[in-house]
A = this chain, B = another copy of it.
């Protein structure tokens, strides 16, 4: 990455709680305010939609990496600037994390666990926001600080900044 803006991948379940969605939205606003690009799964549901809409409303650039092939409002968030249509189903999770400078995981079931584990395997730093369940599964990555736990959007942003400063 030479001169490009950092891409912050915001991941999380499509059936997140209202509280989880609000936390993701608050974080997404901070991402946009910071001038970072927000990348998410792009579907109009759960954490993806909350983060995309919030970053878009705050003037940020929003990229969605989608499982399907059609640019259809039922499948694609209206908040995206660019819809990457992969047609690859869940395999698109690998693209989400590889394309993110930092991955921030906000909650979730198996789909989010896939993204966290792919990010760790692919060498991308992961910040958990508002939960710590997966931290027990990856003690070595916690110790190496490739995986970090935060509880508030401001704390997550501070971690992202620290990671970017180190990598820059």
Q: Could you list which residues of chain A lie within 8 angstroms of chain B, going by C-beta atoms?
A: 1-5, 7, 37, 61, 63, 65, 69, 71, 73, 78, 80-91, 94-95, 98-99, 101, 109-111, 113-114, 117-118, 120-122, 133-134, 136-138, 140-141
Knowing A4-B83, A89-B87, the reply to whether A69 touches B137 (Cβ < 8 A) is no
Main secondary structure of the interface of A (DSSP, over half): mixed
Closest to A1 in B: B71
Sample of 20 further A-B pairs with CB below 8 A, known A69-B98, A87-B89, A90-B118: A1-B71, A4-B71, A4-B80, A4-B81, A61-B61, A85-B99, A87-B98, A87-B122, A88-B89, A88-B94, A89-B94, A90-B94, A91-B91, A109-B121, A109-B138, A109-B140, A110-B118, A110-B121, A117-B117, A137-B137
